[in-house]
Amino acid sequence: MEGLFDQRRYLIPFRSGLLPQIFTDTLVLGAGVAGLRAGLAAAEHGEVIVLAKGDLRSTNTAWAQGGIAAVLDEADSTASHVADTLAAGAGVCDGPAVRLIVEQAGVRVRELLAWGMRADRDAAGGLSMGREGGHSASRILHANGDETGRELQRTLEAKYRATPGTRLFEQCFALDLITPSREPGSPVLGAITHHPKHGLQMIWARATILASGGAGVLFRETTNPPQATADGLAMAYRAGATLADMAYVQFHPTTLYLAGASRALITEALRGAGAVLLDGAGRRFMPEAHPQGDLAPRDVVSREIVRQIARQGGSHVWLDCRGVAEFDVRFPGIARVLRRFDLRGDRDLIPVHPAAHYMVGGVRTDLHGRTDVPGLYAVGEVACTGLHGANRLASNSLLEGLVMGAIAGHDAGALGGETPNGVHANGHPWSRPAVRPSPTPIVSDIRPSERGELDLADVRSSLRSAMWKNVGIERNGQRLSSVVEMIDFWGRYTLDKIFDDVSGWETQNMLLAAGLVARAAMWREESRGCHARADFPEPRDEFRVHDLWRRGQHGPRTVSVVDDPAGAPA
């Protein structure tokens, strides 16, 4: 990107020596599955601080209804799970990443069970494994039906709090990563944060792990909690890290669609248990659209729902759960939500509509979780490992957070730790200090803007609406070009300002990340996975690459997809 998006290194002016100083070995920004698992692994080697933007009930993990994909019995195979992941990824998954994460699934899930995670079980006491869209076998572990994320969050939080050498900072907002130079590639030495009680603080760390979650709040309709404002993506970009595959935003097909109601997620596990989608006339439509019918990949189902709405008018389709046995017992969370609107899953049709759900692209990493900026790792939804390709397979996200959190946490926590040849997978030299960094004099000198002001709430609302209408489920070049112009305009009058509260910083982060998503979608002149262009309806071989975006760079670089799913993990 050009202009103001690339000029601003920090969100606020500050002098590091005038702020309170905190020190740790490893700093983790984010307290969902990836952040807590990374913190646990790093704690085996030294002191750790995990920072939560809000409280631990409002992470994307805690809100997750879907389960954890893992091959846990002989009736299934890792080869099948790999094949399903590659199929959903539409030709741009990196094979070694897929194989690494799928093969470690069993170890990580059994570890959770040993730590006390309560999973659903059958009458004989064995694990009750469900099936979700895109999977060819029942390999999804759930907890209390639709409350897997809540139970996973509880398990990891309890384990982390009981681990010596760990601290947890809640309600603490990370503004920016600390680098001694504004030039891309300068090493990360921690983060500058804001706490409502303690104000601004400098947290210095030998290694910093981004685990800040996704970007669903960029869109008017989303399943994500309010904290998912793309902060990690924006921080990493300002610090000079490379972002990849930013056009790929996954939309969940089924969220509750009622006037005055938040867009509550209706888990895909319901369709795995027998629920079906109906059009306005009460007719099933997915069996004609895809061989897997109602369990087709999410991008297929989302687009077909939008087409049905366009053909028949109205604002939603119906989810028929009346054939799901013991609905209230198996899906208690959804049952509670429905009761608030006098609906019952075993009696009533549920109005549903797609909504933004998961950021597939993110901060580019290798298979140790390392970015191309020394000292900086990224794990979970904020990262792009190559696992998901162009479209995440259901329930692979919690799995990725577990596996890559453990790997990156161990690597960040251990002393030394260069790659064997001293070069990062993206081709950049990579090293980090073996001791905690000393406070480095850093001055962010930002002059007050002389430009006029826009109403911040209006900018935020208009951005989310424009992203939903123009960078949503189906896109075209003319609308993408228009929304880029809109974002640039809002950016000229917002990114140059100095704010002193979280809302202002979030809006600046959202503008930066939205600009990247829209530009990546405009550049990718094809349809692939969850990126659909009406003016380029087919995939094109020349776009079977990862597009890489970095501060100061005009347009994307590209790198080839790493095939070889049968090869040894990198």
- 3.40.50.12660, 2.40.30.10, 1.10.10.10, 3.50.50.60: which CATH number matches 4-248+360-438? 3.50.50.60
The yes/no answer on whether domain 253-354 falls in CATH 3.30.1300.10 is no
Per the model's pLDDT, the better-predicted residue between 416 and 197 turns out to be 197
Closest CA to 242 of 364, 87, 67, 101: 364
Task: Name which residue leads in pLDDT, 6 or 379.
Answer: 379
Candidate list 139, 150, 263, 298, residue with the active-site label: 298
For residue 2, the model assigns a pLDDT of 56
What share of the chain has pLDDT > 90, as a percent?
Answer: 73
DSSP string, 507-525: HHHHHHHHHHHHHHHHH--
pTM: predicted TM-score of the whole model, two decimal places: 0.92
State how far the Cα of 442 lies from the Cα of 88, in Å rounded to an integer.
45
Distances (CA, A) of 467 to 104, 152, 282, 396, 516: 36, 31, 31, 26, 12
In this predicted model, what pLDDT tens digit does every residue of 214-242 receive, in sequence order?
999 999 999 999 999 999 999 999 999 99
pLDDT digits (tens, 9 = 90+) for 385-430: 999 999 999 899 999 999 999 999 999 998 533 433 344 444 445 5
Residue 210 three-state SS? strand
d(CA 186, CA 437): 14
- Predicted confidence at residue 447, as pLDDT, reads 83
Q: Where are the domains of the chain?
A: 4-248+360-438, 253-354
Please answer whether residues 316 and 271 qualify as being in contact, where contact means their C-beta atoms are separated by less than 8 angstroms: no
Task: Quote the pLDDT of residue 108.
Answer: 97
Q: pLDDT for 480-512, tens place per residue?
A: 999 999 999 999 999 999 999 999 999 999 999
Q: Any bridge partners for residue 284, and if so which?
A: 278
CB 34 within 8 A of CB 381: yes
Q: Assess whether 298 carries a catalytic annotation.
A: yes
Mean pLDDT value of segment 521-547: 97
Report the SS3 class of residue 155.
helix
- pLDDT digit string, tens, across residues 62-71: 888 889 999 9
Residue 92 falls in which region: left (phi positive, over 0), alpha (psi -120 to 50) or beta = alpha
Quick one: pLDDT at residue 435? Answer: 60
The identity of residue 390, as a single letter, is A
